[in-house]
Structure 1
Amino acid sequence: MIDHLRLSTERLLLRMPARTDAPRLHIIASDPRVALTTASIPHPYPAEGAEEFIGRIHARCGLDWRSLAIIDLMTDDLIGMVGFVGDGTSAELTYMIAPSRWGQGIATEASSAVIRYLFDQRGYRMVTATAMTTNPASARVLQKLGFEKAGKAPREIPLRGSIHLISSWRLNASRSCCAPLRTHAFFREVEGAFFRSILADRIDDVLAPPRPESAGRYHRPGQATLYMSPLMDWAKIAVSGYIREDGRPRVVIPLTVGKAHVLDQHDEVACRSRGIDREHSNAPWRSALLAGAEPPSWRNADFARVAGADGIIDRSRNILGGWHLNLFRWNELGGPCVKVCGKPEPIHLSADGPKWGL
């Protein structure tokens, strides 16, 4: 399963387009000022073109092929598309912007986020792009992003039935001047010793993501999240209620976590800057899920993921002053390194202790 990529900037959210985006996408792609500057958008644009395009995106989406809707965070409007096609080393950048938003730096801002993702999180070494020589605005965008012109050559464009002069551009990772993807000013840096509780029969999976069908306070089915605590007793208390409920034995395993940039829900300013309501994280998530509703804490996790955080710090509901670390990515490029650093210790609960307690 490919986790739907979501990136954010100061003004924009980049996400997988939904079927409901088709009407707005159709308006943009139907505009000759957009279509005729590309080699891939037919003009006139077919009535079902946007729906079919979104369907192809969902069918083809992969780590090296993405096409993301550009959403204005202030209005929630779709204002363009940005994407890439790559081979693991080099990727070609593509974008289109609604004419009503031309001249506002949207293409530069959205493309910068994608480029930083490719370089910082995927390990790409080069990004390329092309532009018709009759489209100087696109060339200016590429220049702002640090691209160098690699040449130009005539190319037949079958959709146009004619030959156009196309300029080629390239950007090496070492020369990139794109702004960092993450806004570290709002993140807390954490590293060191942590403890993870896990079922005793799943010790070998201590660093594995949750099973695809499972859900948790900060992850939807299919999303990766690694739950842990800074103290062993806190890790035990975090699962004590589940142990008393299902009777399945669990253990605590010591871990070391490399430098991670996480959104700390103790930080009211940081939460407010990313649209996070801290009370949503305190609301019961399992009862919401059983009632057929979306747990409010998922929305907070979404905002933290979109902001580029490695994870989120959860304020404990059962431990005075306690907290837990929940990583969204680990042991991959762009995420912290997490290793096992000790032997598992069985969790033993007192017979007369509180449900959430030792």
Structure 2
Amino acid sequence: MRDDDGVLLETERLRLRRFTTNDVDHLVELDSDPEVMRFLTGGRPTPMAIVRDEQLPRILAQYDRHPGLGKWAAVDRAAGDFLGWFALDPSDDGTEAELGYRLRRSAWGSGLATEGSRALVRHAFAAVGARRVWAETMAVNARSRAVMAKAGLRYVRTFHLTFDDPIPGTEHGEVEYELRREDWPRVRQEWDAALRAR
């Protein structure tokens, strides 16, 4: 499922590898961009102490609990630069996975979010044996919704949550997308046919 240097998988342009304790600065820098955090915290950065003492230890502990699932550092295969992360966060029993990603602004608009998301969807069904991959975002986050659709997930519902400190757009709700195991063969065939046609 992964090789000895912690690499989960590679795509044409991305290498997805395990996080290490050396990635604290990468994560802090990623979360310090107000545009990256716009639909998550309203643009507020994640403090260094939260990343170092809470988020990163939780990410590292996940690898052994559900092999093949968790958050993976996304690295540019050509240049070796840290670009952000992709995630397949497991349900409690590990049979479902929540797809997610967070990329530096310099990586936006190049198809990398779709490339990494499709690779993880394929991995979830082919290697992990997930029965469902799902994702959520704010209803107003049109870019992430487009990536979910390109990754083979379909719209399921819009729902509303209550927040103590809502950010702009919260009033429009959250959306859920999913891809179930029984629909995966059709999606895989569509992707494979598109690759052959290139």
Regarding TM over 0.5, the answer is yes
- Work out whether 1:48 is the aligned partner of 2:49: yes
Are the structure 2 counterparts of residues 88 and 56 from structure 1 closer, same or farther at C-alpha, using a change threshold of 3 Å?
Answer: closer
Aligned pairs for 1:188-267 (under 5 A) are none
Q: Which residue of 1 aligns with 2:86?
A: 82
Look up the SS of the partner of 2:40 in the other structure.
Answer: coil
Indicate if the aligned counterparts of 2:85 and 2:103 stay in contact, CA closer than 8 A.
yes
- Work out which of the residue numbers 89, 92, 107 in structure 2 matches 1:101: 107
CA offset at residue 42 of structure 1? 8.2
Indicate if the aligned counterparts of 2:35 and 2:43 stay in contact, CA closer than 8 A.
no
Q: Which residue of 2 aligns with 1:13?
A: 15
Indicate if the aligned counterparts of 1:71 and 1:77 stay in contact, CA closer than 8 A.
yes
Q: Which residue of 1 aligns with 2:181?
A: 173
Task: Kindly provide the amino acid, as one letter, of the partner of residue 105 in structure 1.
Answer: G
CA offset at residue 70 of structure 1? 0.5
CA distance in 1, matches of 2:127, 2:61: 23
Name the % identity: 29
Structure 2: 5+ residue stretches without partners: 193-198
CA distance in 1, matches of 2:56, 2:85: 11
Look up the SS of the partner of 1:34 in the other structure.
Answer: coil
CA distance in 1, matches of 2:142, 2:176: 13
Task: Kindly provide the amino acid, as one letter, of the partner of residue 18 in structure 2.
Answer: M
CA distance in 2, matches of 1:58, 1:102: 26
Look up the SS of the partner of 2:137 in the other structure.
Answer: strand
- Work out which of the residue numbers 133, 145, 159 in structure 2 matches 1:127: 133
Structure number with larger C-alpha Rg: 1
Aligned pairs for 1:303-322 (under 5 A) are none
Look up the SS of the partner of 1:151 in the other structure.
Answer: strand
Indicate if the aligned counterparts of 1:84 and 1:94 stay in contact, CA closer than 8 A.
yes
Write out per-residue CA displacement over residues 184-210 of structure 1, whole angstroms, 9 at most, x where no aligned residue: xxxxxxxxxxxxxxxxxxxxxxxxxxx
Look up the SS of the partner of 2:78 in the other structure.
Answer: coil
Q: Which residue of 2 aligns with 1:70?
A: 74
CA distance in 2, matches of 1:42, 1:84: 24
Look up the SS of the partner of 2:39 in the other structure.
Answer: coil
Indicate if the aligned counterparts of 1:79 and 1:98 stay in contact, CA closer than 8 A.
yes
- Work out which of the residue numbers 13, 31, 42 in structure 2 matches 1:29: 31
Greater share of helix? 2
Are the structure 2 counterparts of residues 10 and 81 from structure 1 closer, same or farther at C-alpha, using a change threshold of 3 Å?
Answer: same
Task: Kindly provide the amino acid, as one letter, of the partner of residue 46 in structure 2.
Answer: Y
TM-score under structure 2 normalisation?
0.79
Write out per-residue CA displacement over residues 188-233 of structure 1, whole angstroms, 9 at most, x where no aligned residue: xxxxxxxxxxxxxxxxxxxxxxxxxxxxxxxxxxxxxxxxxxxxxx
CA distance in 2, matches of 1:97, 1:43: 16
CA offset at residue 45 of structure 1? 1.9
- Work out whether 1:141 is the aligned partner of 2:143: no
CA distance in 2, matches of 1:148, 1:60: 27
Are the structure 2 counterparts of residues 89 and 55 from structure 1 closer, same or farther at C-alpha, using a change threshold of 3 Å?
Answer: closer
Structure 1: 5+ residue stretches without partners: 181-358
Write out per-residue CA displacement over residues 64-86 of structure 1, whole angstroms, 9 at most, x where no aligned residue: 64110001011111101111222
Q: Which residue of 2 aligns with 1:211?
A: none
CA offset at residue 5 of structure 1? 5.6
Are the structure 2 counterparts of residues 42 and 17 from structure 1 closer, same or farther at C-alpha, using a change threshold of 3 Å?
Answer: farther
CA RMSD of the aligned region, Å? Answer: 2.5
Look up the SS of the partner of 2:143 in the other structure.
Answer: helix
CA distance in 1, matches of 2:134, 2:66: 17
Indicate if the aligned counterparts of 1:150 and 1:169 stay in contact, CA closer than 8 A.
yes
Indicate if the aligned counterparts of 2:134 and 2:176 stay in contact, CA closer than 8 A.
yes
CA distance in 1, matches of 2:102, 2:7: 18
Q: Which residue of 2 aligns with 1:333?
A: none
